[in-house]
Amino acid sequence: MSDEVATRLPIRPSPYEYALELLQRGVALVCLVEGIAYWVRLLGFFEGAAWRFDLMPFYWQAAAVPLAVLFPFAAVGLWMLASWGPVVWFLCAAAEIGMYGFFPELYGRHHLIIAFHAVVALCYAVLRLLLYIERRRAAD
């Protein structure tokens, strides 16, 4: 087979690469939903003091505004499989874990959100480790 033909053959992604792509795209959809939820909270679509920016306590304002911007940004990066997508998601996850894990008296208890972020981080780390091992074996 000539070099020209070999360069035109598609390279199939490994199962780990495919799983990582699916994980990132799934998390991207969740990030988009969370971003929209924060925007709904900021714009005041629902009645209540915690559902309108001008009536929110300062600590909610300080948390909701950056997350309303960063979650959709993370969703775009994760969907495009860009290298900065997981980094932005990690910032959002760390913020929510800090909010709901360390300050439940202010933000409430949301164990499901904390568990989701922990599971996603673990799955991402395991898949990246498996990809690293696979590439090391292929290089040897």
Residue 12: other Cβ atoms inside 10 A: 8
Per residue in 84-134, pLDDT (tens digit) is 999 999 999 999 999 999 999 999 999 999 999 999 999 999 999 999 999
Contacts with 121 (C-beta within 8 Å, 6 or more apart), sequence order: 90, 93
Residue 29, pLDDT score:
98
Question: How many residues appear in the chain?
Answer: 140
Per residue in 45-83, pLDDT (tens digit) is 887 767 788 888 999 999 999 999 999 999 999 999 999
Of 117, 34, 37, 21, nearest in space to 78 by CA: 21
> Which one-letter DSSP state was computed for residue 14?
P
CA dist 113 and 115 (Å) reads 5
For residue 37, pLDDT beyond 90: yes
Q: pTM value?
A: 0.86
CA dist 13 and 100 (Å) reads 37
CA dist 1 and 125 (Å) reads 38
